[in-house]
Structure 1
Amino acid sequence: MTLPHAILPPGRRQTAAPPIFLSPGVPMTLIPLRLLLFAGLMWMALAVSPGAAFAQDAASVAPIISEFSGKKSFDETEATVRKLAATGDPAVAVALNALAAGELFYRADGSVVIARGKADPAEILDPYTGAPLGTAPVADLEKVRVKNSIRVVVADALGTLTLGSPDPERRRAAAMNLFTSATPEQVGVLDAAIAKEEVLAVKLRLEQARAAAVIKSDRPVAEKLAAIDLIAARGDRQSLVVLGEIRSAEASELTAAATAAAEAIEQNITLWGYAQNVWYGLSLGSVLLLAAIGLAITFGVMGVINMAHGEMVMLGAYTTFVVQEAIRTHAPGLFDWSLPIALPLAFAVSALVGLIMERFLIRFLYGRPLETLLATYGVSLILQQGIRTIFGPTNREVGNPSWMSGAFDVGLMSVTWNRAWIIVFSAVIFFALLAALNRTAMGLQMRAVTQNRKMASAMGIRTPWVDAMTFALGSGIAGIAGVALSQIDNVSPDLGQGYIIDSFMVVVFGGVGNLWGTLVGAMSLGIVNKLLEPYAGAVLGKIVVLVLIILFIQKRPRGLFAQKGRFVEA
């Protein structure tokens, strides 16, 4: 057989080779080379085919499954479950699931089967493949006894088997679950999983689970010390649980290393705890900023103490509820767009109510703060009762769109998407409002009225119109705040009452009418509140903050950033 010259190396030509005989008188050159190559590949494929591998796995697993046969103790059953998990064969999940469900039985001949249903004779299945084996009289079947502790071990075993899942997230979750329940028998399975793992994040979790298994094994001290270092690098509360067994043992080199690692982990947890509280404080501060920023505008420009401001927030939240109900009924596919749709509507509803309040009530009470306070408080009660009459007194469900659901971890800190988006949303509203006040004609007129109302009026600015538009703007922003608050708080007629006092504290602390002061005040109060809560509790923490603000105002009556204008000069 002569090969084409095209597939030979350059400059070389094929020469005749001496014939090789397969049998006397039959030279190999008479057999097509391609046919031999094809036959060799087919033989290799058959040798490693799933059927061959399946036969080998079934042969090795069958004796372990047969150990369930007979009147075994619970400890023996648990040991058999761990042996099955140590094989790493995903097919053993059939027997383990049947065991947990109380469907695993053994017969007089020692064979183990799965039996389902209450019919007699019962349908029986193979415990490895799940294939039907026919039927058997119920009297010939004896159930393998289980209890809750064995079901827990089965769940851990099934978690081990998912280490071979094609989904990286499932493999990572399995490794996470194994960390506190890993046994010495699983070291081999974890070694095999680590060797073939390509995703670094999953590989790290597998190595940590292996370290937890090594600590419980009889491996050399040096390997256990390396495992302790790896667990210490993880640094979470589960690591303390794993190290606890060594710390409680007799004094040794391992005990000292585990104690030192545990102390370092506790310090790490404490630091991350502070970071978590700061995050909670920032999210609370963003909520307070949304609730207070509209109040800062109306109070700063008009000097009106609006006790119905919280109800503007509540109207925005109920607008969101109405929008979501309409979408659920008529266009469920648009649910993820419910908040963008609700934002302009909530602004319009609250702004309209605010405009009506200013035109028909507040404008007759300028310069009379006590009467204004009482009148707006009466409006707040009317609005609350109106909402109770229309929607009822109970909480209403406002759902989270998919992009605001769930959470992610930053170190040992959990960050929820809804609060993360609220922080971003607060920043966008803040800077948009700042630009509007400094870059638009309406904003310049509002600032002019704030600094000197009489001079602004003399320059041709219609101050009553500015007052009305300012009150509508502040109320509309409160409505937007209600859209955000509906994602983290109960939507009820009392929603706004929980934020009105805090909003006034933010405005007074930051400086009346100053947006930057409102921002600093909201974030400061939010963080201080959350840092005090673990030590003083939520209620006492708020009291402490209130006392601190009163003491601060004694020194700086105008707040952090004093606003220059007619109220300062008055």
Structure 2
Amino acid sequence: MRWLVVLSVFIGLGFGSSTPAHADEFSDAVQALNADNNTDKAAAIEALSATGDERAATVLSALLNGTLFYRQSDGLVVLSKESGNVTILIDPSTMNEVADVSGSEAKKIRINNKLRGQLKGVLGALTLLSKDADKRQNAADEVFKANDPSMLPVLQKAIARESDPDVKGRMLRAQAAIILEYSEDTAARLKAAQTLGEFTDPDISALLGKIANTSTDPEVKKLAKDMQDSVEGRLAAWSFLGNLFQGVSLGSVLLLAAVGLAITFGVMGVINMAHGEMVMLGAYTTFMVQDVIRTHFPAAFDWSLAIAVPAAFLVTGAVGILVERGIIRWLYGRPLETLLATWGLSLMLQQLIRTLFGPTNQEVGNPSWMSGAIETSTGLVLTYNRIWIIVFSLAVLGMLALVTRKTMFGLQMRAVTQNRAMANSMGIRSGWVDALTFALGSGIAGMAGVALSQIDNVSPNLGQTYIIDSFMVVVFGGVGNLWGTLVGAFSLGIVNKFLEPYAGAVLGKIFVLVGIILFIQKRPRGLFALKGRSVEG
């Protein structure tokens, strides 16, 4: 039946009247789309694409998008365009309006998922000869996915005239896939398998595996298996790189969350259980900044994070000073009371945010320069927001290192850390140094919140997600050592990501925690212990 429909379209060419043969061919193929069953519709789609008419892409796109109709009065296939309550019908052959009718007089030509897949492949084939290289490349990819042998002639024609090496490679991939699966020529199939083996693509691996399992030709079967093993080996290497990037990405998040804690806990010896809430306050500051920009300065949205970073630092730094002056300074040398007081403070801050903003997640958008990703055919995806967070975390760490090493405040902070009594005797106001140090750690936590708002839900519980991991990073890297925090964050991030495929996220984190406990039994002061005459708690 399917081939009868195709045949009827071409037979119509010989019985044309006063219209040109090409016009009859196109019109008859379009009209055949209004068939009673999907098999005949599939044949009509092939016949229409075979006409080579430029209008075929428009008609087939309309069919795919659900804007191809037929008029009930005479069954004429038409393009449809809505204009208020009136449906304007357009003749695909002339692109002229046929009539204005009510919506009930025009019925949509319906298709199933199989036909949608066929349409995507056919449209890809029709675009193979486009002047736009990007369109040709996308078309070659669609033809590869469709893997329809009827597209081989137009694909070979496109390969013969293609000059762009990247696009030609995609076309050769599609041609090889079709030949390998449908050709009966052993030599051609072996050459196709060799061609496919040069690509590093999960879809190629799946196709080669299918041929290796189903082919009755022993030569083709063996070569397909060998090529699949080769592709799988390269995919494994790319997967390793992907896991490494994910690990570094997680490490950068842990670094941002932990570097502020390395100041308050590592340098000052304060167990601040409200550190996660400083991260949360930074994220909510970002939300407020973006809300103001969306309302009053929408054109400046791409600058929202540049404004939110210093704003979050100032807000959380000010909160940090209030916490240190109001609570922490009365509890120095009493770690249990400090832990309980800051834990209670964390609950109060969470409830305050729930009261002001509600318990639900808040929308924080990505600027255009943080949207999208670098994607490869190997399955490796490098998202721009993660890349920028890695850069930002290293920049924050570098800035903090400059502050602690090259400024008077940094010198005083290190002096108080190493020997408070001696620092006081030298005239350093250790109380204010403590306040500013706590403000610095809290401010950096707020900056971390700005970054985390781009990849995580902004909610009152945001900080709780990272507080335990932050303490693990600081303890593992070495209390009070910034470079230890860097190494600890990236080490834990990478180990976590490589364990997840085998143990799962939760069990993997448990293994890491057990490993850290065993490690600090041997090195209680972490990887890089802080050196000094007296490190006080």
Could you tell me which runs of 5 or more consecutive residues in structure 1 were left unpaired when the two chains were aligned: 1-53
Instruction: Name which of 192, 196, 211 aligns with 2:176.
Output: 211
Match of 1:170 in 2: 135
Kindly report which structure 2 residues correspond to 1:248-263, keeping only aligned pairs within 5 A, or say none. Answer: 248-263=214-229
Change (3 A) 1:67 1:230: same
Name the Cα RMSD after superposition.
3.1
- Tell me the amino acid that sits aligned with residue 41 of structure 2: T
Question: What is the match of residue 346 of structure 1?
Answer: 312
Alignment correspondent of 2:325: 359
Whether 1:462 and 2:426 are equivalent positions in the alignment is no
User: Judging changes above 3 Å, is the alpha-carbon distance between structure 1 residues 256 and 80 closer, same or farther for their aligned structure 2 residues?
Assistant: farther
Normalising to structure 2: TM-score of the pair? 0.87
Inter-partner Cα distance in structure 1 for 2:68 and 2:366: 41
1:111-168 deviation digits (Å, cap 9, x = unpaired):
96427599xxx986544443345799x9x99997743322331232223223344443
Which deviates the most, 96-105 or 554-563?
96-105
| Closer, same or farther: CA 159–437 of 1 in aligned 2, 3 Å | same
**1:188 and 2:176 matched:** no
Name the stretch that deviates more: 234-243 or 361-370: 234-243
- In structure 2, which of residues 389, 392, 395 is the aligned counterpart of residue 428 of structure 1? 395
Q: Which residue of 2 aligns with 1:156?
A: 121
Q: Which amino acid aligns with 2:134?
A: E
Aligned equivalents of 1:385, 1:145: Cα separation in 2:
53
- 2:497 counterpart of 1:533: no
- Does 54-63 or 544-553 show the bigger shift? 54-63
Q: 1:440 to 1:117 in 2, by over 3 A?
A: closer
Residues paired across the two proteins, number: 513
Determine the C-alpha separation between the residues in 2 that align with 1:518 and 1:385.
Answer: 30
Cα distance between partner residues in 2 of 1:552 and 1:167: 58
Displacement of 1:498: 0.6
Task: Report the counterpart of residue 186 of structure 2 in structure 1.
Answer: 221
2:341, 2:440 → 1: CA distance?
20
Tell me the TM-score normalised to structure 1 length. 0.82
8 Å Cα contact 1:311/1:383 also seen in 2: yes
How does 1:84-483 map onto structure 2 within 5 Å? 84-100=48-64, 101=66, 103=68, 105=70, 113-114=77-78, 125-132=90-97, 146-218=111-183, 220-247=185-212, 248-410=214-376, 411-483=378-450
Q: Could you say if the C-alpha distance between residues 421 and 117 of structure 1 is closer, same or farther in structure 2, counting changes exceeding 3 Å?
A: closer
The Cα of 1:348 is off from its aligned counterpart by 0.2
**Quick one: which amino acid aligns to residue 264 of structure 1?**
S
Query: Greater CA deviation, 474-483 or 252-261?
Result: 252-261
- For 1:399-426, what per-residue CA distance to the aligned partner results, in whole angstroms no more than 9, with x for missing partners? 0111111111254311111001000111
Task: Specify the SS of the correspondent of 2:455.
Answer: coil
* Cα deviation code 1:484-512 (max 9, x no counterpart): 00000000111001100000000000000
Q: Secondary structure at the match of 2:340?
A: helix
In the aligned structure 2, how far is the partner of 1:401 from the partner of 1:558? Answer: 41
1:552 aligns with 2:519: yes
User: Per-residue CA shift, 1:515-536, capped at 9, x if unaligned?
Assistant: 1100000000001111111111
Q: 1:288 to 1:85 in 2, by over 3 A?
A: same
Distance 1:179 1:164 in 2: 16
C-alpha contact (below 8 Å) 2:249/2:390 kept by paired residues: yes
Task: Report the AA paired with residue 168 of structure 2.
Answer: K
Superposition deviation, residue 186 in structure 1:
1.4
Quick check: 264-273 or 521-530, which moved more? Answer: 264-273
Letter in 1 for 2:408: A
Equivalent in 26, 46, 69 of residue 82 of structure 1: 46
Residue identity in the other structure for 2:255: L
CA separation in 2, counterparts of 1:141 and 1:445? 81
Partner of 2:10: none
Name the aligned partner's letter for residue 498 of structure 2: L
CA distance in 2, matches of 1:115, 1:431: 61
Question: Is contact 1:451–1:565 with CA below 8 Å preserved after alignment?
Answer: yes
Q: Indicate the SS of the match to 1:412.
A: coil
**Closer, same or farther: CA 495–276 of 1 in aligned 2, 3 Å:** same
SS at match of 1:179: helix
Contact 1:162 1:171 in 2 (8 A): yes
In the alignment, is the contact (CA less than 8 A) between 1:94 and 1:128 conserved in 2? no
Letter in 2 for 1:231: L
Answer yes or no: is the 8 Å Cα contact 2:78–2:89 preserved in 1. yes
Residue 485, structure 1, aligned to residue 449, structure 2 = no
Aligned partner letter, 2:207: V
SS in 2 for 1:316: helix
